[in-house]
Amino acid sequence: MLQPTPPAPDAIAFPGDEALRATFLAWQDTLARERRMAANTVEAYGRDLRQFLAHRQARHGLPDIPGLIALKPRDVRAFMAARRAEEIGGRSLMRALAGIRSFARHLEREGHGTVAALGAVRAPKVERRLPRPLPIAAARAMTGTELRAGENREPWVLARDAAVLALLYGSGLRISEALGLTRRDAPVPGVDAVTVTGKGGKMRMVPVLPVVAEAVAAYLAACPHALPPEGPLFVGTRGGPLSPRIIQYAVATLRGALGLPESATPHALRHSFATHLLGRRGELRAIQELLGHASLSTTQLYTKVDSARLMEAFNAAHPRAGTQASRRARDSAERSPAG
């Protein structure tokens, strides 16, 4: 499914001349339609670039394309330093630089020239955060309707939310992948796999457990809306496409009922899918394919989660925890290769 073109920024508020603004809009359209980036990513890249242009405007006047081609490394570093002074984190800075570089590549493809300064600017170092999976019992509880039975919600809504969460935990889907399924592709009993469209428009096939198919079937049986074959599988109370925010709200409610931390989000169910598979000796390369990771290094983070959990159990239960023996075990785990 094509991503919608982002709304055009206000012509007066845009920090650049008219030619730059037109190029900016063409770049965003390319990201959404040709590169099939998620709408949130396109919006974030556009916001970061406008902030960079506003920074340039405050110091050098209205930005234009020749001025961007002639950028010096110190110009980009000054922007990064200013953002860090505003206590912007390393991940946000890395994304901002990625957005600026993406726009520079667009300028080059369009024949405007090369922004050579960006080749001399190094991305900020960012420590990769470990995924934070849920305990198995909590993940299972989230995919049922029992915890929310007392809510003033229609039974079909509770069944819908449970089906979505079952897909996140049972098949390792991203929330956008689950909500992107059509009625025709509904994984119901008798269907043991479903094809989803992931990041960058890449398609992959994922298995569907019988319990997940049953949750989807229960939702379909209760849903009061007619669902056209090409329409969305999961709909809101008025019959339109279901917003991810509704599922985030449902998880927040369940999080409170289960006493879980704020890290227990819909995406944490996907983390739990991978971590729990790995904990039961799932093969790392197979898990990579199930998750749709482009790089094995991304999937390898889950091995570190499993090692950290093992050390926590060791320190809690071993009679010599805290002694030299436990320190040696901890050092050994930290030195073990990620794969």
Q: End-to-end alpha-carbon separation of the chain, Å?
A: 34
What is the pTM for the complete model shown? Answer: 0.58
Lowest mean pLDDT among 12-21, 65-74, 249-258, 323-332: 323-332
What is the token pair recorded at 164? Answer: 């979505």
Which residue, 137, 152, 179, is CA-closest to 266? Answer: 179
Strands (E), 198-253: 203-207
Q: How far apart are CA 214 and CA 194, in angstroms?
A: 14
Quote the percentage of the chain above a pLDDT of 90: 51
Query: Nearest 5 degrees, angle CA 227-CA 231-CA 232?
Result: 90
Highest mean pLDDT among 2-6, 107-111, 190-194: 107-111
| Partners of residue 195 on adjacent β-strands | 205
> Which pLDDT does position 323 carry in this prediction?
46
Q: Which residues are known catalytic residues?
A: 174, 199, 267, 270, 293, 302
Distances in whole angstroms, Cα of residue 328 to Cα of each of 37, 230, 308, 321, 323: 45, 57, 14, 11, 9
> Which pLDDT does position 293 carry in this prediction?
61
Tell me the pLDDT band of 271, cut-offs 50, 70 and 90.
confident
> Which pLDDT does position 27 carry in this prediction?
96
Tell me the pLDDT band of 263, cut-offs 50, 70 and 90.
confident
> Which pLDDT does position 201 carry in this prediction?
79
> Which pLDDT does position 240 carry in this prediction?
94
- Stretch 211-221: mean pLDDT, rounded? 95
Quote the percentage of the chain above a pLDDT of 70: 77
Cβ-count burial of 83 within 10 angstroms (0-12 exposed, 13-18 middle, 19+ buried)? buried
Tell me the pLDDT band of 302, cut-offs 50, 70 and 90.
low
Highest mean pLDDT among 74-88, 119-133, 207-221: 207-221
- What does pLDDT average to over the chain? 82
Predicted confidence (pLDDT) at residue 256 exceeds the cutoff of 80: yes
Architecture in CATH of 136-286: Orthogonal Bundle (1.10)
Tell me the pLDDT band of 258, cut-offs 50, 70 and 90.
very high
Domain ranges of the chain: 18-120, 136-286, 296-335
Asked whether this chain's domains 18-120 and 136-286 adopt the same fold, the reply is no
Contact (CB, 8 A) for 198 and 294: no
> Which pLDDT does position 131 carry in this prediction?
60
Distances in whole angstroms, Cα of residue 18 to Cα of each of 62, 67, 110: 10, 14, 16
What is the CATH T-level fold of the domain 18-120, as seen in this structure? DNA polymerase; domain 1 (1.10.150)
CA atoms within 13 A on the CB side of 262: 0
Q: Which residue has the higher pLDDT, 153 or 330?
A: 153
> Which pLDDT does position 206 carry in this prediction?
86
Highest mean pLDDT among 14-18, 174-178, 214-218, 297-301: 214-218
Which residue, 218, 182, 180, 213, is CA-closest to 199? Answer: 180
41-95 pLDDT, tens digit per residue, is: 899 999 999 999 999 999 999 999 999 999 999 999 999 999 888 888 888 888 9
Lowest mean pLDDT among 5-14, 30-39, 141-150, 291-300: 5-14
All residues at 6 or more sequence positions from 338 whose CB lies less than 8 Å from its CB, including other chains:
297, 300, 301, 303, 304
Distances in whole angstroms, Cα of residue 86 to Cα of each of 50, 53, 80, 81: 16, 17, 10, 9
